[in-house]
Amino acid sequence: FADALEETIRIQAQAWKPGGKSELQWRSSMGTYALPQLGKRPVDSIEPRDVMNVLLPIWSTKPESARRIRQRIGAVMKWAVAQGYRSDNPAGDALGAALPKISNAQTHYRALPYRQVAPALRKAWAAGAYPAKVLCLEFLTLCAVRNSEARLALWDEIDEENATWTIPAGRMKANREHRVPLSSRALEVLSQARELRDDTGYVFPSSRGRPMGENTLARFCRELNLGCVPHGMRSSFRDWSAECSDAPREVCEIALAHVNSDRVERAYRRTDLFERRRTLMEEWAQYLNGSGGGDS
């Protein structure tokens, strides 16, 4: 399996951005979770139960990591199938049906009423925490992105001159590139983050010169008793955009990188409504900096 992983990485790397962190992320996650159990196994001896044994310890506690590891094991096994080493993929549909469902309680994220978001951010700034944590939390909120998309943001993805952040498909839940228009306040946050820049390439590195931990922001919110989790800021933004902006629903949904379930409508839409989203995100930033300052 370890040899098959190396071949898969070599092939996948042809589509990765030069100097990016995709290979590091593959090697780190697979080295931590998959290789200890599967590394020395012949690929044709690995069964769905073996993959399940890798995933179950983190399936409920680290669902995002578990999902990515399953995808990566699946990619290795697809390579093995293509090479004639086996006839099926043990990380495929049969495994998916056997893994436990994540309960609704685990997938419903605690969110603040949008009027309370600005006070929560001020409380975070007043806490005297390591700057990258506060900057990342505000950036996540301003851009209405997911936790992993913000904490693993790379400087190579940021175009400050054109106020655009391009998140590659491999880091998006829908596996589709997403452009984020950066508000004036988001650019100010990046300017402050630049003072923390190190050789990792991450916009918001940890104090130990590594990517920010998966649970760092959630723990930060809990320690400050903010009443939300980072992902909940997306819900706050969605509520605000529905109640306080003039943006059509489609613009708001694209801002959240939600995939349109209507295949016909999706096929006919040839734009990501970027400029309309730029206006929306600037209004959101102004709300947080101005009229969002109180609870009324």
How many helices (H) and strands (E) the chain has is answered by 16, 3
- Looking at the whole model, is its pTM more than 0.85? no
CA torsion, ordered 251, 252, 254, 258, to nearest 10 deg:
-150
The model's pLDDT over 84-131, given as tens digits with 9 standing for 90+, comes to 999 999 998 878 778 887 654 444 568 999 999 999 999 999 999 999
Domain ranges, ordered by start, for the chain: 2-105, 114-293
Instruction: Centre a 10 Å sphere on the Cβ of residue 156 and count the other Cβ atoms it contains.
Output: 15
Interatomic CA distance for residues 68 and 255, integer angstroms: 23
Q: How far is CA 99 from the centre of its chain?
A: 22
Same topology between domain 2-105 and domain 114-293: no
pLDDT at 1 over 60: yes
CATH hierarchy code of domain 114-293? 1.10.443.10
103-139 exposure pattern, b = at least 16 Cβ within 10 A, e = fewer = eeeeeeeebbebbbbbbbbeebeeeeebebbbbbbbb
The model's pLDDT over 29-50, given as tens digits with 9 standing for 90+, comes to 899 899 999 999 999 999 999 9
Interatomic CA distance for residues 222 and 236, integer angstroms: 17
Q: Which of 173, 176, 141, 180 is nearest to 158 (CA)?
A: 180
CATH hierarchy code of domain 2-105? 1.10.150.130
DSSP conformational letter for 184 = H
